[in-house]
Structure 1
């Protein structure tokens, strides 16, 4: 759900039919999500304690760091991780620990010079608290520390920084915010630095969402908007969360707010259309999607949904281009091939309809609409009528409550001289809402004439 302007990777993702732009779950430089890899011990058995007996690790670090920060009117928390590939993939603990110690010594020296405090957040993440230092001052120290470690130990550090005060975050929250900034920094590559901001929260929100914590994602996205109210990607992500929770009015508000900022934001246009459709506002949905269509020629969901809605609204000529485009984007989708066949058939382009129907059935042999549609095509061409009849019979066996399928079956039965069965099929079609009255009367009149 994160935007690219800051150089982050993007993936267009569909979730429960909504679209959002997100950072990859794991990438070349992606940091650990929750449980860090066992690259180094942490806690009582940490070898660093031989050199720093009072070292705080894990939860103890978090508690003490928050206390240190709370004692100051302002402070900056920093999270640091060694990201050099040789270190990250070195299995030999004895060879790795001297490198880790060099980093710890550099951090200790920087903290001593700036009245700061440090510890170990996790097995491979160091943490620091710089009281009475704003982000600008702490960033200068962090940059110098990176340069020193790179020069003396030939290692690179990735660093995240978070400042207090910020919004309504507590000192303990700010310590965690430094880790969120570190996750942000890792998407910038080795040696990256990031200060906690809306993008950091966007990434954190993505991770909550991927873990199924929708409420947590909403909290992160809302805080991101407090830092950057005009971030359209965050607004879209927030709308997706509300949409997944089926709170459609709030979802639509988020998407429309994004569109006030950027009228051509394609994800918000698509999602606003989808929410409108879910709210049974089909005309409004179509307006959003037709506005988005020229902007999203390579977005399958947009072309598919817009074309489908046009077809359902009786506009196959307008639907055709969109559905053809969707079929080009996902040629192995049985649903799209069937929809393409229906689009051609609705315009009596029978020869064009047959190939996509056939392909749909190759991909999904029991697709009732494709069976019925292909049967109708053969009937119109007056060829392969036995096959057409078999297809239409199969379609009503699979989907017995579709009136159109019974209507098509009735026509073929009538053409095949099976008038009693045709009459039954027409009556079933009428009972299911199809206009079959004239066909029924014609067969009933025939029976009367025959009887007389």
Structure 2
């Protein structure tokens, strides 16, 4: 049985290049509707004093309107023997045994219980704290183990907690139950900052960034020193465009733990987005010193060295990037660009070919391959084909249009060259000199033909 001590935020993920700690372990399953009328009828017949009028929470809240403190326990039947649809007699016996345990505990306290849905039951205990309820949850699990091999998981929350309303405390118990799911069957968890972090992560994955921010802000109030919460909140602010608040979150995480490489890396991304490449590179290098071998970090370092005109340094980091993540087309593309700057054409060709093999729609690598194939004397039609594909994929990229126009020019396809070069010039890539050469060529041909 796992409780609150296990670190479930060991995984790392990137969102639009920002790094954050992502909930690991088992994902929370959507509940299947296994309710059978016969089971419900048997339960209601044997336990008429349970809270039956739905919804459960609304019914309970009316009973707790005057309570200054109460604890709540949500109990979920764990999947057993890997079966999602257990035999009816097995399930009915389990439900009745569990209900008997809950009623026995509630009868001894100022408490109540009832079914929430097919797999979950809820209890409330007036005057009890969350940790007292956690002990009660343990008693439920232990008593059930004496009767059956099947297990249940427990999520616990209490009122008051921060500024959560009475109804939100029941939502917190659900979040604790979802938190418990990451530890497997027969787990029990008290609602805490990690529960909110998991909930925030889930909201983010669903595209609800504002909802994620609310969860992470509440988690920060519960545990102000949780670096994962600060970092995750910072990522949400950054993605939302609030870079100042994002920076404050990352700086806070860095202050709490100077050895936290993700926050340093994310500060580097903010500097890069602000156009300060030197500051970004310094922060990326600091992040790499804290923890080596993180793909996103070494890739950004290699790319920045390339952009800052030191391709030999960039190549060293980018080779490490493709070693860490061999399926990274962007890393191979940047490695190819480093090799071009170092005039190592064969190495550049190899890198760009690998990039295109990994991502056939990598327009930049296709365009570069076209230029290189022309440079080494390959069949010009092959070179043209690569450049044509790049323009088909990214027609608004002036450089790609220029390269295609230049190849048309070299193949004496002047009309096609003019069309591409004019497009390149219109898109901001200066093509006036080459267009002038084409006009001179066309004038020369006209003169030779006697016009």
Q: TM-score range by the shorter chain?
A: 0.7 to 0.9
Task: Choose which of 382, 388, 397 in structure 2 pairs with 1:394.
Answer: 388
Report SS of the residue matched to 2:103: helix
Q: Which residue of 1 aligns with 2:171?
A: 176
Structure 2: how far apart are the matches of 1:370 and 1:106?
A: 66
Equivalent residues of 1:379, 1:412 under 8 A apart: no
Q: Which residue of 1 aligns with 2:21?
A: 21
Is residue 154 from structure 1 mapped to residue 149 from structure 2 by the alignment? yes
Structure 2: how far apart are the matches of 1:433 and 1:212?
A: 37
Equivalent residues of 2:364, 2:390 under 8 A apart: no
Deviation, 1:229, is: 0.6
Which residues in structure 2 correspond to 1:123-162 (within 5 Å)? 123-162=118-157
For residues 256-297 of structure 1, what are the alpha-carbon distances to aligned partners after superposition, in whole Å with 9 as ceiling and x for unaligned?
Answer: 221111223232223222233333333333232222234454
Report SS of the residue matched to 2:76: strand
Equivalent residues of 1:184, 1:200 under 8 A apart: yes
Structure 2: how far apart are the matches of 1:164 and 1:301?
A: 42
Task: Choose which of 253, 256, 281 in structure 1 pairs with 2:276.
Answer: 281
- Return 5+ residue gaps in structure 1 as ranges: none
Report SS of the residue matched to 2:43: helix
Task: Choose which of 293, 312, 318 in structure 2 pairs with 1:317.
Answer: 312
Is residue 185 from structure 1 mapped to residue 180 from structure 2 by the alignment? yes
Residues 74, 424 of structure 1: alpha-carbon distance in 2 compared, 3 angstrom cutoff: closer
Deviation, 1:434, is: 5.6
Task: Choose which of 224, 228, 243 in structure 2 pairs with 1:248.
Answer: 243
Deviation, 1:237, is: 1.2
Equivalent residues of 1:320, 1:343 under 8 A apart: yes
Residues 171, 400 of structure 1: alpha-carbon distance in 2 compared, 3 angstrom cutoff: closer
Q: Which residue of 2 aligns with 1:79?
A: 74
Equivalent residues of 1:407, 1:434 under 8 A apart: no
Residues 109, 420 of structure 1: alpha-carbon distance in 2 compared, 3 angstrom cutoff: closer
Structure 2: how far apart are the matches of 1:391 and 1:47?
A: 73
Is residue 406 from structure 1 mapped to residue 409 from structure 2 by the alignment? no
Equivalent residues of 1:376, 1:388 under 8 A apart: no
For residues 202-257 of structure 1, what are the alpha-carbon distances to aligned partners after superposition, in whole Å with 9 as ceiling and x for unaligned?
Answer: 11112222222222211111111001011111111111222222222222221222
Residues 5, 60 of structure 1: alpha-carbon distance in 2 compared, 3 angstrom cutoff: closer
Report SS of the residue matched to 1:191: coil
Q: Which residue of 2 aligns with 1:326?
A: 321
Report SS of the residue matched to 1:79: strand
Q: Which residue of 1 aligns with 2:108?
A: 113
Report SS of the residue matched to 1:187: helix
Equivalent residues of 2:134, 2:189 under 8 A apart: no
Is residue 268 from structure 1 mapped to residue 263 from structure 2 by the alignment? yes
Residues 45, 422 of structure 1: alpha-carbon distance in 2 compared, 3 angstrom cutoff: closer
Report SS of the residue matched to 2:316: helix
Deviation, 1:341, is: 0.9
Which residues in structure 2 correspond to 1:232-243 (within 5 Å)? 232-243=227-238
Task: Choose which of 319, 333, 336 in structure 2 pairs with 1:338.
Answer: 333
- Return 5+ residue gaps in structure 2 as ranges: none
Task: Choose which of 84, 98, 101 in structure 2 pairs with 1:103.
Answer: 98
Residues 184, 424 of structure 1: alpha-carbon distance in 2 compared, 3 angstrom cutoff: closer
Structure 1: how far apart are the matches of 2:181 and 2:257?
A: 29
Residues 254, 152 of structure 1: alpha-carbon distance in 2 compared, 3 angstrom cutoff: same
Structure 1: how far apart are the matches of 2:203 and 2:103?
A: 33
Q: Which residue of 2 aligns with 1:384?
A: 378
Deviation, 1:197, is: 0.7
Report SS of the residue matched to 1:314: coil
Deviation, 1:309, is: 2.7
Structure 2: how far apart are the matches of 1:212 and 1:404?
A: 34
Structure 2: how far apart are the matches of 1:123 and 1:5?
A: 30
Structure 1: how far apart are the matches of 2:120 and 2:196?
A: 19
Residues 408, 296 of structure 1: alpha-carbon distance in 2 compared, 3 angstrom cutoff: farther
Deviation, 1:421, is: 10
- Compute the TM-score of the two structures, normalised by the length of structure 1: 0.82
Equivalent residues of 1:76, 1:129 under 8 A apart: yes
Equivalent residues of 1:407, 1:436 under 8 A apart: no
Deviation, 1:336, is: 2.8
Q: CA RMSD in A?
A: 3.9
- Compute the TM-score of the two structures, normalised by the length of structure 2: 0.83
Structure 2: how far apart are the matches of 1:86 and 1:396?
A: 53
Structure 1: how far apart are the matches of 2:305 and 2:38?
A: 62
Moved over 6 A (4+): 416-431, 435-441
Task: Choose which of 199, 206, 217 in structure 1 pairs with 2:201.
Answer: 206
